[in-house]
Structure 1
Amino acid sequence: MTRIALVVSDVDGTLLTKEKLLTERAISAVRKLHEAGIGFTITSSRPTIGMRFLIEPLGITLPIGAFNGSCIVDPALKPVEQHMIPEAATRRTLDVLGKFGAEIWLFTTDLWLARDPNGPYVPHEKLAIRADPTIVSDFTPYLSSACKIVGASADAAGLQRCEAEMREALGAQATAVRSQSYYLDITPPGVNKGTFVQTITRRLGISTDLVATIGDMQNDLAMFHVSGTSFAMGNATDDVKQQATHVTASNEDEGFAKAMEMILRENGR
């Protein structure tokens, strides 16, 4: 393993357990990274508000990447770089998600908008991001301020087909990628977790070869591809594992902490 100067981690399915908990071993591993002079930050499909609770326990001082890296904020959640989905792409996204019968959410900079307060995945998202949705009957007033749109569905195979059709429908107008088997994320074009890594390395004046990334889903591949070292979680699908340089244990078996401990050992720390 090459020398590591920065670690960039996904959140759900990686840093957190299935119960959305941050373990003491994970906290300890990040503390040891800091002590060894290795930078650490996070990027996620989550909205900015859904990452607030991680900043203090992990001692994060670098910018973090919300909405799959399309919104970069400082540790106080003040915007550093912000992108929106073009309105035409937002309209097309809603049409395609409606065709597949997915539960639809629209996120602005500071709001989670939903049409059904009793949607099957609403309780799960409330637990994950520690916030409540704003219920609206119509997304029209928010079409020009969408940071992310989510299609949620228990039909994993159907959502995969929806992802393919969404990519064809949107082309270069927006990015469509699954962040979980049950979530399809649509985010602004040209920005992703990989561009987030590149932005942070430019700010730090280091090469992306000195970055280690860790994640579990298709939306993490963009950062795997630009980093010198990458870890796929044990709970990742085979196609994600095949595109990482290392595979660690699952998020239920301290896979994140074990990967960080490997980095520390390999870097002589």
Structure 2
Amino acid sequence: MAIKLIALDLDGTLLTSDKHITTRTKDIIARAMSRGVMVTIATGRMLHSALYFARLLASDAPVICCNGGYVGRAEGTPVFAEYFNPVLVRDLLTFVYDRDWYVNWYSGMEIYAPAYIEEYFDAYRTTANFTVTGVGNDYLRYTENVPQIVLRNLDEGIGSYLNAVQERFGDRILPQQNTGTSLDINPPGVNKAVGVQALADAMGLTLDEVMVAGDADNDFEMLEMGAFSVVPENGMPEAKERASYVTASNDANGIALAIEKFVL
């Protein structure tokens, strides 16, 4: 069947290495949208950044952000949302604060952290109007409607953090997208495939009408969910093993080439 929904990862997939969308990619996506195809973002990033890049594509579709933990727009009822229990957020943040680890967490359009440290958010440098709300030690006020928590350590890596939170919280959390210096933590059962499925269901689509694209470990479930899956050449080998099609790299208009080949 014809593709009617395209869900695109950002970093390493839609975005170039310098965190931009090429003009050619924008043009090809615009052609797909002119034919009635809905194009959206499927990212581990927060809602604000996901919406920013969706709007650069002139898409008003609900976005899939926080690794599938939230599907929706800035306002209105989300298509899907899975939040941590506020008590667990409190306990996890206290655990992290007690060890003086750097943490940020999302709620709605906001990103909270003890304080803003620029080097931890380099990936967001091309997201306009990006701000971090520094809450200091007053974190207990910000534990509602949290779909994702992120631990960061640029100096020593994140391995010891992962081991410690897994030992302490077990199956009450789902660590994913371990970049080596950052670690996303979501509620159990949440991944991008869940978000894509929720949006497809809301649109009345079957998976053979869906194209997904990603490059990393937090894309694995989405790539193997049954949709037509695209991975750029720069993607992880394990991601490419799950792909229906391996396209050119994110710096060589790989997403544009795949959409042109299979959608237009």
Q: CA deviation at 1:24?
A: 0.8
User: Take 2:190 and 2:8, find their aligned partners in 1: how far apart are those partners?
Assistant: 17
Unaligned 5+ segments in structure 1 are: none
Give matches, 1:99-248, under 5 Å.
102-118=101-117, 120-128=119-127, 130-138=129-137, 139-154=139-154, 158-160=157-159, 162-163=161-162, 166-167=165-166, 169-178=168-177, 180-248=179-247
Identity %: 25
User: Take 2:98 and 2:11, find their aligned partners in 1: how far apart are those partners?
Assistant: 27
Aligned-residue CA RMSD in angstroms?
Answer: 2.8
Instruction: Report the TM-score, using the length of structure 1 for normalisation.
Output: 0.83
Q: 1:253 to 1:188 in 2, by over 3 A?
A: same
SS in 1 for 2:13: coil
Structure 2 counterpart of 1:153, which letter? N
8 A contact 1:49–1:129 mirrored in 2 = no
Q: 1:78 to 1:201 in 2, by over 3 A?
A: same
8 A contact 1:92–1:169 mirrored in 2 = no
User: Take 2:260 and 2:100, find their aligned partners in 1: how far apart are those partners?
Assistant: 43
SS in 2 for 1:258: helix
User: Take 1:92 and 1:216, find their aligned partners in 2: how far apart are those partners?
Assistant: 32
Q: In structure 1, what is the equivalent of residue 44 of structure 2?
A: 45
**Number of corresponding residues:** 262
Q: 1:169 to 1:32 in 2, by over 3 A?
A: farther
8 A contact 1:233–1:251 mirrored in 2 = yes
- C-alpha deviations, 1:54-86, integer Å up to 9, x for none? 233323243211211211213x54341333212
SS in 1 for 2:213: strand
User: Take 2:64 and 2:3, find their aligned partners in 1: how far apart are those partners?
Assistant: 20
User: Take 1:207 and 1:224, find their aligned partners in 2: how far apart are those partners?
Assistant: 15
8 A contact 2:150–2:185 mirrored in 1 = yes
Unaligned 5+ segments in structure 2 are: none
Give matches, 1:8-27, under 5 Å.
8-27=7-26
- C-alpha deviations, 1:198-243, integer Å up to 9, x for none? 1111112121132111011111112112133111222222122222
Q: In structure 1, what is the equivalent of residue 262 of structure 2?
A: 263
Q: CA deviation at 1:254?
A: 1.3
